[in-house]
Amino acid sequence: MLNELLTIFITSLLPVAELRGAIPVGLAVFKLSPVLVYSVAVAGNILPVFFLLLIWQSGVEKLAAKYAPLGKLLHWLFERTRKKFYANHKRFGHWALVLFVAIPLPVTGAWTGSVAAWLFGIPYWRAVGLILLGILISGLIVTGLTLGIVSIT
């Protein structure tokens, strides 16, 4: 069971999969307890946020200037995040970050949420708390969808 939990944890760390990929693997493939899978996936998904917020604040512009291909990728990501997040941020304030992270769709998880928090100047610990709340909600939605408790139709 340790290998399965490690797989769930590592999958939830990844920027594309996050807990949207980890929870279905834990529930449908490994057949583990929903509470255990949810807990491990949430822990794995929040862990990179602590580092990402620091990275965005401390050195992303230096890296982008030094490495042109990385700079282009980051510019694209930042502009896309600004466009997707701006209207909601203007309307809902910092709570928009919770909604942005909570919606379990591609490019709306904790990784992109950390970029949005940095772009809109949300203070570090507030951003961590808002992103964690979004992760918790997203995890419940994904767990419910995977178990068939929640339906999108």
One digit per residue, the tens of pLDDT, for the chain of length 153 reads 999 999 999 999 999 999 999 999 999 999 999 999 999 999 999 999 999 999 887 777 777 777 788 778 877 877 877 787 777 778 888 899 999 999 999 889 999 999 889 888 899 999 999 999 999 999 999 999 999 997 776
- Token look-up 């918790």 returns 136
The answer to whether residue 110 is domain-embedded is: yes
Q: Which residues contact 80 (CB under 8 A, 6 or more apart)?
A: 107
End-to-end CA distance of the chain: 34
The answer to whether residue 152 is domain-embedded is: no
Phi/psi for 148 (5° steps) reads: 80, 15
The alpha-helical segments, DSSP class H, found in the chain are: 2-13, 18-24, 34-58, 60-66, 68-92, 95-102, 110-119, 124-147
CA atoms within 13 A on the CB side of 112: 26
The answer to whether residue 83 is domain-embedded is: yes
The answer to whether residue 42 is domain-embedded is: yes
Parent domain of 93: 2-147
Number of domains in the chain: 1
